[in-house]
Amino acid sequence: MPEPAAEVEVRRPAGGDELVAALALRRAIFCGEQGVSERDEVDGRDDDAVHLVAVSTARVVGTCRLLVEGETAKFGRLAVTGTERGRGTGAALLRAAEQAARGAGARRITLHAQAHARGLYARHGYAERGEPFEEAGIAHVTMEKRLA
């Protein structure tokens, strides 16, 4: 599996500007590229989430969020710019989210994978749970991984 370019750093946003850039990237990809409605993208949970960013040359090139509720963490909103896709940036964000979930006491992590992205999660030890479903007009499947 390819690793992100050496200049890509994955971490929590360093300030409000990086969080704003992360949210803008999500909107560009989900609402712009994929046609998800603004209502579905902005679900009111961002203030409760741990946000992570992938930064390259002072620019946010990837993001995701993690919602931790007790022993379960929900990974979501993974978005990577077109130029970074296929270079390991999404995988690096996933690994960082797993580490953050463990640090918050989560024992398992779940996610709703877009059908085309199932392979990414499967390569990282996630197993499908239940039947495929549609969310925001896109085919998804629930996937899960034990952390402890």
Confidence of residue 1 (pLDDT cuts 50, 70, 90): very low
Residue 140 resides in a domain: yes
- Which pTM value belongs to this model? 0.90
Percent of the chain residues past pLDDT 90, beyond the cut? 80
**Would you say residue 33 has pLDDT above 50?**
yes
**Would you say residue 62 has pLDDT above 70?**
yes
Confidence of residue 11 (pLDDT cuts 50, 70, 90): very high
Residue 83 resides in a domain: yes
Mean pLDDT throughout 66-90?
93
Contact 9, 55 (CB under 8 A): yes
Residue 2 resides in a domain: no
What pLDDT is stored for residue 6 in this prediction?
Answer: 53
Give me the torsion for CA of 88, 116, 109, 102, rounded to 10°: 0
**Would you say residue 16 has pLDDT above 60?**
yes
What pLDDT is stored for residue 126 in this prediction?
Answer: 97
**Total domain count, the chain:** 1
Residue 139 resides in a domain: yes
Strand ranges (DSSP E) for 1-148? 8-11, 50-56, 59-69, 72-80, 108-114, 127-135, 138-146
Tell me the residue range of the domain where 69 lies: 8-146
**Which string of DSSP letters, residue by residue, matches 84-122?**
TTTTTHHHHHHHHHHHHHHHTT-SEEEEEEEGGGHHHHH
Residue 106 resides in a domain: yes
Residue 76 resides in a domain: yes
Mean pLDDT throughout 107-112?
97
Query: Mapping DSSP to helix (H, G, I), strand (E, B) and coil, where does residue 22 land?
Result: helix
Instruction: Write the CATH number for 130.
Output: 3.40.630.30
Residue 3 resides in a domain: no
pLDDT tens-place string over residues 49-60: 999 999 998 899
**Would you say residue 4 has pLDDT above 50?**
no
Report residue 108 as tokens.
């398992």
